[in-house]
Structure 1
Amino acid sequence: MKITSSLIDKLIRLRSGESLPSSALRGDWVEDLLREGVLISRSHGSRSCIKASYPQTLEQSLIHIDERFGDLDSMKGVIDNDVSRSEQAVATGNSKLVTVRSCPGFPVNSYDSIPCSLNGRGIVIKPEEGTFVFISDWQSFEILEDVLVVNIENMENFRMIRQQRTLFTAMFPNKRLLFVSRYPQSSDLRTWLERIPNLYVHFGDFDLAGIHIFLSEFHKYLGERASFLIPHDIEERLQHGSMERYNAQYNKFKNISSDVPSLQLLINMINKYHRCYDQEGYIQNR
């Protein structure tokens, strides 16, 4: 059951002796409480309302429905203040009263030294090969404006940036690159990107679905600051790409288009050859 602030507010009102429109609470558990007499329904013409038969003992009945209803006031505080799991455990003994992401943020990577700021303190991003850095306090993460942010959709490509250095150097000569990933899936990365002025490059699969992700989840919010990485040799590679993947995606994305000339050219190539090409193909094996 999804517990919301609105739901807790309604239950607190019932506990205080107020009545609610019958439409305000729905679900099998509400029907159970009505059958058991914990809640009673009354009609007023064409309208009906519900109220607690014994408001002072309502919580005792609710806890049998869901233990999170055991202390409505504490639950209200937990929801409204977006507390962590540890704070939930201290307050109620249950760290999972409300779903909270224990690992907010996103990973970053670079093969060059990238000076940054985190919580007002200077740090340098240059992980050793085989590692990357996870930025959990992303709200306070700042980078210099001349750093180009490259979002890599596939985690294998993200981990193995040094094996793609030839591609990145050819595409972005003399640029300092900070590689990011939206793993785990959340809106944290996009929200951070919206807050900074840096140019953004999207490196994903060269297929209609990948272009849709860029247009709907990044370009829509970042506008002209966002571009799609299109390697110089992509047409040659598409000729030997996957026809099966193209066919699987076609019906869903066949009408996709872009007012960005270079991206529309890529769409035309994909449709011309009826093939897709995965970004992992740019990882150079040693």
Structure 2
Amino acid sequence: MKITIALIDKLNLLRNGESLPASQLKGEWVDDLVRDGVLISTSHGSRRTLFAPNAETLCKALASIDERFLDMELLHETLLSKNTLRSQQASSTGNSKLVMTRSCPGFPVNSYEPIPCTLNDREFVVNPQEGSFLFVTDWQSFFVPDDVVVVGIENMENFRMIRQQRDLFEQCIGNNRLLFVSRYPQSIDLRSWLQIIPNRYIHFGDFDLAGINIFLTEYNAYLGNRSSFLIPSDIERRLAKGTIERYNDQYQKFKSIKSNIPEIQHLIDAINRYHRCYDQEGYIKIKEPCFSTKNS
């Protein structure tokens, strides 16, 4: 049974002694309540209605079906408030899962140099130790200096290993302060945050038709000219040695993709010319292993 505000409103009508068209309340659990006499079904020509002869009996029967019906008013209020925390639900009812809420909104951020930001009107410096990154949950109150370029990274390996790609970012973006962000977990929080800040946004994803579609439909469509796609100068050389299989897998779905942004259309044309794709992880510089030597 899916509990919705509309369902609670219907049950409240029955609880208050009013009738309800049988067509508006269906399911095996309804049939069980009718069979047990908790609800009475009456016919009016071709129409049937339901009513509850005893409100207390109805409430007890509903609570036995689902404990969330123990407090109909609280359940209704909780459903109306989409941002209700699980802790608030548990405190009120003992059940943190009255409604599905996101326990961890927000997105991760990373940088390889200190970026002074504000969070909840207080100074907040993004400067994670190598091997770690930060997660911003109160993203509505998270702001960065206007001159900082926000770089969105699709794949988590690239996001974690930004220092091994610093040469790439400096070649493509220049001498700018960079704040790296990732759309993880999958949600619209990152995009919503990008819409409320004025900063320039650069998208770094896989060099395939699906990756370009993600940028065009999920970022550029909302951010307009503030957004661009990171395209390294050597991408054609790398595409020539890329993967054929994923290009073939994606082609039917994305074969009609086009862009009025010249550099992106040039990338689309190159992908279609080589019939290949290239993963962004290929731009991570692999550190040489350190070997220790001992004097003999």
Do they superpose with TM above 0.5? Answer: yes
> Aligned partner of 1:69: which letter?
F
Question: CA RMSD, aligned part only?
Answer: 1.6
Q: Which residue of 2 aligns with 1:205?
A: 206
Q: Which residue of 2 aligns with 1:51?
A: 51
Deviations, residues 159-196 of structure 1 (Å, cap 9, x unaligned): 00000001100011111111001111111111111111
Distance across 1 between alignment mates of 2:235 and 2:31? 60
Structure 1 unaligned regions, length at least 5? none
SS in 2 for 1:210: helix
Indicate yes or no: 2:257 matched with 1:256.
yes
SS in 2 for 1:123: strand
Distance across 2 between alignment mates of 1:126 and 1:145? 18
Q: Which residue of 2 aligns with 1:153?
A: 154
Task: Indicate the structure (1 or 2) with the bigger Cα radius of gyration.
Answer: 2
SS in 1 for 2:109: strand
Distance across 1 between alignment mates of 2:195 and 2:2? 30
Distance across 2 between alignment mates of 1:225 and 1:123? 24
In the TM superposition, residue 47 of structure 1 has moved relative to its aligned partner by 4.0
Change in CA separation of 1:163 and 1:96 when aligned onto 2, cut-off 3 Å: same
Deviations, residues 33-58 of structure 1 (Å, cap 9, x unaligned): 33333233334445443332422321
Distance across 2 between alignment mates of 1:38 and 1:256? 58
Q: Residue 59 of structure 1 contacts residue 71 of structure 1 at CA under 8 Å; is this kept in 2?
A: no
SS in 1 for 2:2: coil
Distance across 1 between alignment mates of 2:150 and 2:141? 17
SS in 2 for 1:32: helix
In the TM superposition, residue 142 of structure 1 has moved relative to its aligned partner by 0.7
> Aligned partner of 2:212: which letter?
I
Q: Residue 107 of structure 1 contacts residue 183 of structure 1 at CA under 8 Å; is this kept in 2?
A: yes
Change in CA separation of 1:174 and 1:66 when aligned onto 2, cut-off 3 Å: same
Percent of aligned pairs with the same residue?
A: 63
Structure 2 unaligned regions, length at least 5? 288-296
In the TM superposition, residue 21 of structure 1 has moved relative to its aligned partner by 3.0
In the TM superposition, residue 114 of structure 1 has moved relative to its aligned partner by 0.9
In the TM superposition, residue 276 of structure 1 has moved relative to its aligned partner by 0.8
User: Aligned runs of 1:163-182 on 2, under 5 Å?
Assistant: 163-182=164-183
SS in 2 for 1:6: helix
User: Aligned runs of 1:50-199 on 2, under 5 Å?
Assistant: 50-81=50-81, 82-199=83-200
The TM-score normalised by the length of structure 2 is: 0.91
Q: Which residue of 2 aligns with 1:23?
A: 23
Q: Residue 59 of structure 1 contacts residue 72 of structure 1 at CA under 8 Å; is this kept in 2?
A: no
Distance across 2 between alignment mates of 1:37 and 1:252? 54
In the TM superposition, residue 27 of structure 1 has moved relative to its aligned partner by 3.2
In the TM superposition, residue 10 of structure 1 has moved relative to its aligned partner by 2.0
> Aligned partner of 1:18: which letter?
E
Distance across 2 between alignment mates of 1:150 and 1:26? 50
Total equivalences in the alignment:
286
Q: Residue 88 of structure 1 contacts residue 97 of structure 1 at CA under 8 Å; is this kept in 2?
A: yes
79-88 or 244-253: which moved more?
A: 79-88
168-177 or 254-263: which moved more?
A: 254-263
Deviations, residues 192-245 of structure 1 (Å, cap 9, x unaligned): 111111111111111111111112211121122111111111111111111011
> Aligned partner of 1:281: which letter?
G
Q: Which residue of 2 aligns with 1:2?
A: 2
Distance across 2 between alignment mates of 1:44 and 1:227? 64
Distance across 2 between alignment mates of 1:185 and 1:65? 33
